[in-house]
Amino acid sequence: MTHAACIKSPDPAVRALQVRAIAHPNEALVQSQPLLREAVAANAPARDIAWLNAVRAQAYSALELNSEARAEAAEGMKRVPDPRDPVHLALYFIDAENIYDAAGIAGAKRTIEATRAAGVAGPDAAPCLLLTLGTLQFRENRSDLAVVTLTQAYRATDALGAFDQRALVASQLSKVMRELGDYRQALALNSEVIEWNASHGETLNLSVQRYLRGIILRDLNEFDAAMLAQANARALSEAIGDEQGIAFADMRICELQVELGNMREARGRCENALKIFSGAGTVDVVKQTRSLLGQIDLAEGHATRALATFNDILANRATDMPPREVAPLFKLRANANAALGNIEAAYADLNEYMQRYTETNESRRVQQAVAMRARFEIDREIDRNTALQGELIASKARQQQLQRRTWLAVSAGALVITLLTALLLGARSHRRQLAALANLDALTGLPNRRHTAQLAAEALERAERDGQPVTIALIDLDHFKVINDRAGHAGGDRVLKQFAQASREVMRASDTFGRWGGEEFLLVMPGAPLDIALGVVERLRARAHSITVPTSGEPVSVSLSAGLATNEGLHSLDALMARADAALYRAKHDGRNIVRIDESSMDSAATGVRRMII
């Protein structure tokens, strides 16, 4: 989804071409070529010509032809060099969107920051600047920064009522959430963008979003659903003649078929993708596709050919590939070397794989923790601003009320004093009620995310001061979308309320159980070692099975997955949450309806707990 669409041309004819460039980029290129030629020949105003450059740059970017997109954008910016001009900004956004090298990303970020600091862009361009900055941050592997920037952009589009811009931001934010492991939020954002694209006939972007959905579903090990999403993406790309889209879908279908063991079907898909990618000269996806073909060769007993492929891909240590994609290649090459009896080489590759895998995972865990803290701070700031605004309104109302009461006091002093006293007591009671409501989730009556985080941080601080354990459990209701689909959202709300009631029946008096978001909950258990905490969560898991979900068809069962972590060796809630989140991810990966304990926390676990888990 191209960021140039963030800013629209004032000319209705050019705006129509911008829409065409997104929905049918090949057609937009054909239609814009004679218009551009005629405008140049007629010595039309530079701004008018530059908008046609923007249309063509946008179409090239939609087709993922990066060099052509940047060349067209550069031509337009040369015609209108003023950075305050909307067409210059539109061209700049699309140029930045097609930058992938580290030096180029750093330069683009500096330009965006300078533009924001100078305040030369109007309010409508602010979300676009944030969107482009967040995209570049994500591209340089700083998801922790990108999630904050893009969240600001998402909220800015809400404030402006700019729903087309909102769809652009939601698309990019979905990718970042997926990278941070928040697959539920990634899917929710992806669904929002799919709905927007479908309702506006944007076939190309719809294909891209179906493709991204397939990747997220694969991360969740939902292979059938992922395959269907990629097949839908491919069919949409085929309908509009988008060869790059066909190649990306084929590469992902190949990847899924490899994981399912269907090597013959996988090879055909990968070979077709490689042919298209090689023609376009896109280095990173060419290597990604070749690595899949190497896996297929290895599985089919062609170890020598596989080793040659992996050696070629890893030349210069694969510095032209994203770091998270390089580590698995060393493991694959180790397997190829082992198959050929090259034991020392296999051992060296395994060591390299383990080192890179650990570094990548640790980097991701740190980014998840930082991003979680940043998102919490944003939520807290919004809550604080809302509270201050409410307090200001209430203060003005109280002042007006006081003025009226004072006027009455002139004629009825004793009576007014009585009334004011009652009013003061009532206001205090009202403030206490508002404070309580601000800390509760409206649906379940449980502590909300902000208050739960506050209570968890306080429990961790007390535990550290007193030298006591504290265990947390991050809990997710399994397949909650199925419940909503079968029973409706009202039925889903009933399940959440019953689950909240179940938690009150099984947890200890000292525990805190709060709604963390959607169908996700956080259980904080002060003074509880792993064995006690595991017992509490298992009781809750058993109790969840008894929740009834009325549907018109087959009954739907309720289950949960949970990740446990203790404060052993930790001093911050962010770090503890990151451990629990990793354990929850393993529970989902291992089939759901189970409880998993963070590996670091297991070091302090009792023998009985270890036996229960193993």
Q: Are 567 and 460 in contact (CB under 8 A)?
A: yes
Average pLDDT of the residues in 343-351: 86
Q: What does the block give as tokens for 318?
A: 């694969």
**pLDDT over threshold 90, residue 471:** yes
Q: Distance between CA atoms of 211 and 190, rounded to whole angstroms? A: 10
Greater confidence (429 vs 10) lies with 10
Contacts of 393 (CB under 8 A, 6+ apart): none
Per-residue pLDDT for 432 more than 80? no
> Hey, what are 261's tokens?
């063991």
Residues facing 520 on adjacent strands: 476, 517
Nearest CA-CA partner of 84 in 133, 130, 47: 47
User: Which of 246, 330, 234 has the alpha carbon at shortest distance from 291?
Assistant: 330
The beta strands (E) that lie in 398-498 are given as: 470-477
Q: What is the pLDDT of residue 451?
A: 87
Angle separating helix axes 143-160 and 343-411, nearest 10 degrees: 40
**pLDDT for position 362:** 55
Is the overall model pTM greater than 0.95, yes or no? Answer: no
In contact, 564 and 597? CB cutoff 8 Å: yes
Distance CA 168, CA 351 (A): 41
Helices 126-139 and 143-160, packing angle to 10 deg: 160
Q: 3-class DSSP state for residue 45?
A: coil
Give the whole-angstrom CA distance, residue 244 versus residue 162.
29
| Distance in angstroms (rounded) separating the CA atoms of residues 215 and 223 | 10
What average pLDDT does the segment 384-411 reach?
A: 51
In the predicted structure, residue 417 carries a pLDDT above the cut 50: no
- Express as a percent the part of the chain with pLDDT over 90: 24
**Where is average pLDDT lowest: 137-141, 202-206, 355-359?**
355-359
Q: Is 202 helix (H, G, I), strand (E, B) or coil?
A: coil
**Separation of first and last alpha carbons in the chain:** 46
pLDDT digits (tens, 9 = 90+) for 231-281: 999 999 898 888 888 999 999 999 999 988 899 999 999 999 999 988 877
User: Looking at the chain, how many residues does it have?
Assistant: 614
